[in-house]
Structure 1
Amino acid sequence: MKLNQKWIFSFALFLGFSYLMQWQGAALKNSMTPMGIVHLEFAQTEVLFEKIIGIWEIEMLYWNLALDFLYIPIYTYFFQITLSIFIQRHRSKMVQQIGVLLKNATILALFCDLAENTGMIISLSGTHIPIIYILTSWLAGLKFSILGFCLIYILVSIPTLFFRTKSA
């Protein structure tokens, strides 16, 4: 499969699963948690964690976590393919190196998300260890930071598709 075909496949999968996550996660959104499960990811104390899950249907939360475990490799694959395309398009070695760094960082984001979800499951199982809430929150922050920088790199790189190509 060519790179462009892989990208189209990854983009379609990413968009479809993003929609599925939003649709299924809508049950977790309310006035206290307008961003749904993201609020639980950043709950740094048992009190806040319990307050959030107390207003949700726990079955919906478990479904959202299960779907998220499937979503993690999907968004990672999409970012890996997309960053690969833009890395090739830049003339500047420094900008290419930043892209490679971000591409590699998506693997760190994947592991952060897996560990973060595991932390939430441990907490949901009734094991209340304060450091788990803090680690889960920090891992979520690191994951979102990495993905945010990847998104910025991609958005800033879009003009290279039309105006700049790497010289042969």
Structure 2
Amino acid sequence: MKTRLIVFGSLAALFFFILQIQGANLKTDATPLGIIDLEFADTGERLNAVLFGWSNADVKANIYIDFVFIPFYVLFFSTAALACSAAWTSISMKHAGKSLSKAVYVVGVLDLIENKIMLDSLAGSFSDFTLMLTNWCAGAKFLLLLVVILYIVISMPFIFFYKNK
């Protein structure tokens, strides 16, 4: 499991870094969060405002790189949550970690759906519903991932305590 954490964590970090460098042009005064501003563009007007001044090639490249990033961060967080579950003596916390290790796959699916809809929106094929769906997928993805990260952070002292027993 340790090898999987190192490999998937390293690849996730590498692609996160690549996304940040490649997506630097997407961060402007109007879009300080870069591609995240596109993920949360919930109206046609907001979509146009976000895309204004962006290169379509830069946006597409960022989304395509994200498609490669998704499996690595999903596998990293899934493995990390599962590893953390082993450190707990509480049955409910063990179960939470095992459940969250599976829930991270939902995060990945939400990210895939969101990316596909963003590519469609970039091509001009969008509606109020698809923009709302992109927004919802992004929100659910970030919320669920935050829960997983909190579980991992809360588990860290137990991992060190468990190892020292």
TM-score, reference length from structure 2:
0.95
Once the two structures are TM-superposed, the CA of residue 134 in structure 1 deviates from its matched residue by 0.2
Deviations 1:116-149 (A, max 9, x none): 1111111111113110000000000000011100
**Equivalent residue pairs, number:** 165
Partner of 2:106: 108
Partner of 1:68: 66
C-alpha distance 128-7 of structure 1, shift in aligned 2 (>3 A): closer
Partner of 2:162: 164
**Structural RMSD (CA):** 1.4
Deviations 1:71-126 (A, max 9, x none): 11110011011111101111111011111221111111111001111111111111
What is the distance in 1 between the residues matched to 2:74 and 2:145? 9
TM-score, reference length from structure 1:
0.94
Once the two structures are TM-superposed, the CA of residue 28 in structure 1 deviates from its matched residue by 0.5
Q: Could you say what secondary structure the match of 2:82 adopts?
A: helix
Which residue type is aligned with residue 113 of structure 1?
A: D
Gapped regions of structure 2 (runs ≥ 5): none
Aligned pairs (5 A) from 1:18-167: 18-164=16-162
Once the two structures are TM-superposed, the CA of residue 30 in structure 1 deviates from its matched residue by 1.1
Q: Could you say what secondary structure the match of 2:161 adopts?
A: coil
Asked if 1 retains the 8 angstrom alpha-carbon contact of 2:56 and 2:122, the reply is: no
Tell me the percent identity: 32
4+ residue runs of structure 1 moved beyond 4 angstroms?
none
What is the distance in 2 between the residues matched to 1:85 and 1:13? 18
What is the distance in 1 between the residues matched to 2:26 and 2:134? 18
